[in-house]
Structure 1
């Protein structure tokens, strides 16, 4: 982005004599009949653009006034060019006479093309882009104007001296304009003398990596959200990409390699984001997207207990989460390192992906817990074997019934096994109906499935609780 000698441009374009250039430039705001009209007309685009790029609206307004002679320069009136930007904008430009300096420091006049903008907002955006992105040789040359770096609009204005303009009084001229015309009110500050303005508050994000190839699909609401080059509002200059630029449609598979939990800098509300790509290759372009733009495999978690035997001869891994879950998973070690005969599991997950169900167990290894897949005989729960047969009729509670517990399954045969208390009114001799019989071969014990009179719930109990 090329610019003319900013300190001289506006006054040259409105025909001020050379001998009065500097004086007129520094006092040009007094020459206009209605500065407040200028501020009122530009308030909306200035605040919209400056806030988007995390700059001070007051400084941008002062620059626009100073650079354009309060909007009276020929370049501004004919091309909406408030900052003297050379070149063309979407192929549009105007040719005007401008002042330049040769290698010996001598002033001369020449014709140059300047950008012609469709409106003031486009000009403000060009200026904001320059301040945020800097130059090819120094992207941070204007970082002193960024609200996260400049505590006050005065700091931001002074940061333009020697960078944006070489004139030693440039920053001071902007500050004078801001103070004289109350432009600092655009920054939502209660101060009128350059005190600390509202500082930009960015959201923060905590990032989590992912192992292997993990996937999700675009949801039916994906188009309600946007693709970003970073998690939204966690830094300045974040750009959006339209869905039309990628191969997007409901149900399209995307590949994920990172998850982020974002915390709002203002409300402290949390949201989840994912880094996605539209091809399996890890070299493919990556984007960040809000979690509601994606759908993940369904996972049903069940608390329980079981002894799980691990096949340490396989080459797989164990993880901190179920693979392809919304948490994304990171491999924590190889199955070959799990050398104990059995591990205790306290949670089971049944995942359904593309119509295929797989079971996972969370096992305790030392003091930590990890997830391991039960498919391909990588891990298998160690349950007692039971043979079942039909049963009917009634039985009575024995004198020793309360030494045993009621269960939802034969004990140690299912992961989600739960023990229940005996119903109110249970005592020796109470009749119950039985509807199924089980025999545990390892313990050589018999079990019955029963119901209490007037209840619908089935319970399993050791046969010794009955007579």
Structure 2
């Protein structure tokens, strides 16, 4: 389920003035510049749906107001779509231009299909289903909005930040609307905590209102199935949680004795979360299972409780031949790295015979090393495994032999370059300038020889007098 990303509406909502009123006939939507009329028109469907799905009506009403600009958006007036949800509803949709952001964060506009609902209640129900059902990669993504997990409407509203919307002020915008129009008192009834009551009720009491709790934010990254790690020797120093600790209210713990845990026990990872506190400190968490079954119970665990595969990266360049006849995938990261990789497509979709690689990675997991290359496909970069014969770097073939003796730099030595390997034979190829002070006739000590059989060229590895560094050079640079 997809929905549009709205970025600029928040500043238009709270301060909306009273003005003209337009109520759609026969369609059930409320398009108005009068917030009170919008609220009274939608009170019945909002409370009915929110209570059925055990959500806060005040938060649903505030979301509807924020996302639809109090029902005045074209999407709402033409399609009863109060939450910007894309796709079709019972085969019904409308096409509209929408602003999107590409992978580089650049704004662009495109046409998209949005769901068309027969009534406002149908739109409310669809959004409630989303909040209760989450996404395919994380069914509990919006569980912080559920009444059983959110002690107050403020908790539920804040749980939508960095989940439902990427704006860091999304939750506070909803809370501001709720307080301004007393939605918790009007809609939530006994479900609303006194700690979250409106300012008017606070003024009636001499007791200072309990401040709203502050939670850390978390950004989540889904991963492909089958990625693993092991519990390390310190795992019992940490706890298992149903959410990333400190990111919402009523987070529960699970005792280690209730799961098949133990040092070096393998666990399966399907999501990474990066938590950021109010002070700006970041920690990494993983969502784990104790079996590879998709139905296995999932827990969140601090990354320091896990022994994760290690990855060593090297910059370089190589032409990589891709075997697109295989049934594998290419990824946004090295598969089973601490980042967790997400599949970006099948190998058979890579139709070119070769691609340029700019990064090599050696992953070590349980003592086994595997090689990966980052290749450029169009303007994107992806990781592909070499050990699965999916990616084969194209290097020149060289036969090597021991060599000894001294040689002198030839008159044409400066036309050639010095390398750390025979040219075009290794990924981490480096080129060096000739040291200062060398000239024609400078003596060097040769210690190895290489012949590129395909081209019939000879290379020597040598050292300058008094220098421990080995260089490779084309034999034509030496007399």
Distance in 1 (CA, whole Å) between partners of 2:252 and 2:183 is 23
Structure with greater Cα Rg:
1
Cα distance per residue 1:269-296 (max 9 Å; x no partner): 2221111011111101100111111111
Q: TM-score w.r.t. structure 2 length?
A: 0.60
Residues 447 and 463, structure 1, Cα contact 8 Å, conserved in 2 = yes
Which residue in the other structure is 1:240 paired with?
Answer: 253
Distance in 1 (CA, whole Å) between partners of 2:245 and 2:444 is 63
Which one of 260, 281, 286 corresponds to residue 273 of structure 2? 260
Which one of 317, 322, 341 corresponds to residue 334 of structure 2? 322
Q: CA deviation at 1:382?
A: 0.4
Q: CA deviation at 1:219?
A: 1.7
Residues 356 and 376, structure 2, Cα contact 8 Å, conserved in 1 = yes
Q: CA deviation at 1:200?
A: 2.7
Which residue in the other structure is 1:202 paired with?
Answer: 215
Cα distance per residue 1:310-353 (max 9 Å; x no partner): 11111111111111001111111111111212111111111122
Q: CA deviation at 1:160?
A: 12
Which residue in the other structure is 2:227 paired with?
Answer: 214
The residue correspondences of 1:55-134 to structure 2 (distance < 5 A) are: none
Distance in 2 (CA, whole Å) between partners of 1:392 and 1:251 is 50
Distance in 2 (CA, whole Å) between partners of 1:141 and 1:353 is 42
Which residue in the other structure is 1:413 paired with?
Answer: 425
Which residue in the other structure is 2:319 paired with?
Answer: 307
Structure 2 unpaired stretches of 5+: 1-144, 159-174
Q: TM-score w.r.t. structure 1 length?
A: 0.61
Distance in 1 (CA, whole Å) between partners of 2:203 and 2:400 is 92
Distance in 2 (CA, whole Å) between partners of 1:233 and 1:140 is 13
Secondary structure class of the residue paired with 1:206: strand
The residue correspondences of 1:221-370 to structure 2 (distance < 5 A) are: 221-264=234-277, 266-370=278-382
Distance in 2 (CA, whole Å) between partners of 1:219 and 1:294 is 5
- Give the length in aligned residue pairs: 312
Distance in 2 (CA, whole Å) between partners of 1:466 and 1:171 is 86
Distance in 2 (CA, whole Å) between partners of 1:161 and 1:331 is 42
Which residue in the other structure is 1:399 paired with?
Answer: 411
Q: CA deviation at 1:386?
A: 0.6
Which residue in the other structure is 1:163 paired with?
Answer: 190
Distance in 1 (CA, whole Å) between partners of 2:384 and 2:151 is 51
Which residue in the other structure is 1:443 paired with?
Answer: 455
Distance in 1 (CA, whole Å) between partners of 2:472 and 2:375 is 27
Q: CA deviation at 1:213?
A: 0.8
Q: CA deviation at 1:240?
A: 1.2
In structure 2, relative to structure 1, the CA distance for the partners of 1:199 and 1:393 (3 Å cut) is same
Cα distance per residue 1:352-391 (max 9 Å; x no partner): 2222221111111111111111123211100001111221
Distance in 2 (CA, whole Å) between partners of 1:133 and 1:263 is 23
Cα distance per residue 1:181-231 (max 9 Å; x no partner): xx42x84xxxxxxxxxx4432211111111121101112221121111011
Distance in 2 (CA, whole Å) between partners of 1:462 and 1:453 is 19
Distance in 1 (CA, whole Å) between partners of 2:237 and 2:322 is 44
Distance in 1 (CA, whole Å) between partners of 2:350 and 2:156 is 53
Structure 1 unpaired stretches of 5+: 1-131, 188-197
